[in-house]
Copies of this chain bind each other. A is one copy, B any other.
Amino acid sequence: MSFQSHNHRQCIKRGVQHATDQCEKAGLQLTPIRQRVLELLLTEHRALGAYDILEKLSEDGWKSQPPVAYRALDFLVQHGFAHKVERLNAFIACTTPETNHNPAFLICRICEAVAEIHPQLSRGALGRTAKDAGFVIEQAVVEAEGVCPNCR
């Protein structure tokens, strides 16, 4: 859980390693830009906007235009290495890439930290209501905003 103090260097390392392995296995290209964007996302448990990413890329010497950031982010999201937080129009590295994915997010409105969690929603009230309505859920955005334990 990203709210708790933890060895953060490990998060970054694990994230990159997992993406590297996954891409290797699936024949995907974790190109320098894609890897760099993933690293940038992994450096904080906070959601970054595409333009934040762009700015950081340009600090690295990449003088990139918006599509570059969006393409890299799309790639990462598409393959589960990152997620989009709709509430913030921003992106965050996946912190549980091993887990089967129906991520939900806890967003602290004070420190902006974001934690990825995995409640079993489909079995709960939402899934039941949808089923009763004859609605087939393909994807669910679940984002709770509030105050994290550290900011209380």
Residues of A within 8 A of B (CB): 1, 3, 86-87, 104, 106, 108-109, 115, 117-121, 123-126, 128-130, 133-149, 152
Contacts and interface: CB of A to CB of B under 8 A. Distances in A.
How many copies, total?
2
Could you tell me the dominant secondary structure of chain A's interface residues?
A: mixed
A149 B121 contact: no
B145 A138 contact: yes
A146 B102 CA distance: 14
B128 A106 contact: no
B138 A152 contact: no
Contacts of A106: 130, 133, 135, 137
Nearest to A123: B125
Given A87-B86, A124-B125, A125-B121, A134 B146 contact: no
A141 B86 contact: yes
